[in-house]
Amino acid sequence: MVRARESSLIALAALVGAIAGLIVAAMGTGVDLLHRLLFHLGPGVRLSALFRLDPMVAISVPLAGGILFGIARELIARWRPEREVDPIEANALHGGRMSLLGSVIVAAQTVWSSGVGASVGLEAGYTQFASGIASRIGMAFRLRRADLRILVGCGAAAGIAGAFGAPLAGAFYGFELIIGGYSPNSLAPVGVAALIGYLVAHSLASEEVGIIAPEKITIAAHDLVIAATIGLLSAVLGILLMRGVALSESSFLRLRLRPALRTMIGGLAVGILAVVSPEVMSSGHGALHVSGMRDLSLQTVALFFTLKIVASIISLGSGFRGGLFFSSLLMGTLGGRLLAVALTIADPSAYFDPNAYAVIGMSALAASVIGGPLTMTFIALETTGDLWLTTAVLIAVIVSAQVTREVFGYSFATWRFHLRGETIRSAADVGWMRDLTVGKMMRRDVNIVPVAIGIAAFREAFPLGSTGQVVVVDEKERYAGMIQVADAHAAEAAADKSIRELVRHADDMLLPGMAIREAVLAFDRAEAEALAVVDSYADRRVVGLLTEAYALRRYAAELERRRQEILGEG
């Protein structure tokens, strides 16, 4: 029933949305509880909203928290050596399949990392846990690959909607970043999940969820022009930030320290920075409220801006678990305010609203780092309710996303995939191409002859029209090449002469584990109509045969299936 009716998928999406809202509320409460216990905060006080913190507490808590985190991570790695798959990778390569236990572990690590003050965001934990539960529910109902991917997107969309108080932004986060595109059959499930996730999280939150923007924002015509410049600057900063995290991570790895020592050093560094500016700790949610509602001095904003960048790079590079989404929002906010003040100093006769530039910078930098321009546009719209400001934001995020794409080519998530050797650039489903292997397409009834057979004997065994090509093996029954039946019958040679001179493609072969894309490229390189499949390059034992025509037909058929899924026709 669930597989046959779209309304059933919407019902599952509603369930996932409600669970995601509970997850957002529970994880947020868990972090707040850790902050109260470890940093001795009062009710309703946010760690990153503090202007001063006891130096001993600021240093000791992330230091000890880093040691414990590293020890736990090392023990978990021994128990579960495989790497956990996040929602983007799951939808791109695994048809939406995720480990629920792995997702719980990632969420717990994220809560602890943020709870001890590491400069990381909770949004990675929200989306991982919610999408992991969505994947498990979908697998329990045996959903088709396309529907399972949509349900995973519903989990992430509901988590972001609940975390930021923005259901539209959450829905487009699911479309742009998790599903990899919009389709008519995904609109209702993702939209319902995002809305319910927001409502549940909002009803359970003890404080206002999302981003609190200033009440009054002024947009002038020149601000629309400057928004493009903010987008360009945000792209540059976003690229430097992502490369900085990668450099930090590689630097820690070169030290060849155990995980506990790496996160200990990272926690110590963040603690030292927090002595100067406590706002750098945790995700920065409280600091974002402060920076949007109070007039801070230029020196304070510049210092905070610099230290937050450094703290985020060190936290993620040293091994703490978390995201860069909310941190990039805070950095963009501070950067936008700095630019507004700088422009005011340069031209006192003009008015540059620092609040407007903060929202534009916030959205543009996050669009560069996260890679969701429409997501960030809707966050700005739902936060401020200002259409003119949203127009400026749209200009900035388009420039930021396009420059990042042209110059760098990755978002933060796909950049980390690239560093691990993966080639995916988005959550678009390419896993089916890896699943469609040569071993699944090849014929196993292969015509094989020894290389020593004479031409006459070959002609007698394979008359014209009986088959197109025959596999040739050597004296040790190892692959030696291919021979065309037509070539053997056209050859002018003595009847007892060997076919050895007619053998082609002796070095061209396929392996059963090759994906269809690799097989098609192999056919192009060899300029062959068919190639033998061997067990390995070392043994060269023939196990099958694959023709280029059949491989291309299967490839075209799968592409058509994916097109139908995108259009909702499947």
| 278, pLDDT greater than 80 | yes
Q: How confident is the model at residue 212 (pLDDT cuts 50, 70, 90)?
A: low
State percent of the chain over pLDDT 70.
91
One domain, residues 407 and 291: yes
Q: Report yes or no: 288 and 330 within 8 Å, Cβ to Cβ.
A: yes
Max mean pLDDT among 348-357, 358-367, 439-448, 457-466 falls in 358-367
CATH number at residue 452: 3.10.580.10
Q: Residue 534's domain spans which residues?
A: 433-557
| 138, pLDDT greater than 80 | yes
pLDDT of residue 432: 65
One domain, residues 286 and 166: no
In a domain, 442, yes or no: yes
Count of beta carbons in the 10 Å neighbourhood of residue 517: 13
pLDDT of residue 154: 97
One domain, residues 22 and 90: yes
Average pLDDT, the chain: 86
Show which of 170, 204, 238 is a domain's final residue: 204
One domain, residues 443 and 408: no
In a domain, 412, yes or no: yes
In a domain, 427, yes or no: no
Q: How confident is the model at residue 502 (pLDDT cuts 50, 70, 90)?
A: confident
Show which of 395, 419, 443 is a domain's final residue: 419
The domain tally of the chain equals 3
SS3 call for 462: coil
pLDDT of residue 172: 95
One domain, residues 15 and 99: yes
460-492 pLDDT tens trace = 888 888 888 899 998 888 999 888 888 888 876
One domain, residues 199 and 225: no
| Beta strands 448-450; 530-534: pairing state | unpaired
| 236, pLDDT greater than 90 | yes
In a domain, 194, yes or no: yes
Phi, psi of 282 (to 5 degrees): 60, -155
Lowest mean pLDDT of 128-132, 164-168, 432-436, 449-453, name the range: 432-436
pLDDT of residue 63: 94
One domain, residues 387 and 495: no
| 509, pLDDT greater than 60 | yes
Give how far the C-alpha of residue 391 lies from the chain's centroid of Cα atoms, to the nearest Å. Answer: 27
One domain, residues 240 and 377: yes
Amino acid at 59: I
pLDDT of residue 207: 59
Show which of 390, 419, 448 is a domain's final residue: 419
In a domain, 151, yes or no: yes
One domain, residues 193 and 70: yes
Alpha-carbon distances, residue 340 vs 225, 358, 399 (angstroms): 13, 8, 19
Tokens for 565, please give them. Answer: 């899924």
Q: How confident is the model at residue 219 (pLDDT cuts 50, 70, 90)?
A: confident
One domain, residues 228 and 259: yes
Q: How confident is the model at residue 206 (pLDDT cuts 50, 70, 90)?
A: low
CATH number at residue 382: 1.10.3080.10
Tokens for 130, please give them. Answer: 């919610």
Tokens for 177, please give them. Answer: 């970043």
pLDDT of residue 293: 46
One domain, residues 380 and 445: no
SS3 call for 70: helix
| 262, pLDDT greater than 80 | yes
Lowest mean pLDDT of 46-50, 367-371, 401-405, 535-539, name the range: 46-50
In a domain, 370, yes or no: yes
One domain, residues 269 and 412: yes
In a domain, 565, yes or no: no
Lowest mean pLDDT of 259-263, 324-328, 390-394, 463-467, name the range: 463-467
Closest CA to 546 of 569, 523, 521, 568: 523
| 421, pLDDT greater than 50 | yes
Q: How confident is the model at residue 534 (pLDDT cuts 50, 70, 90)?
A: very high
72-119 pLDDT tens trace = 998 988 888 787 888 988 888 888 899 999 999 999 999 999 999 999
pLDDT of residue 568: 60
pLDDT of residue 565: 65
In a domain, 256, yes or no: yes
223-232 pLDDT tens trace = 889 999 999 9
**376/83: higher pLDDT:** 376
pLDDT of residue 213: 63
357-371 pLDDT tens trace = 989 999 999 999 998
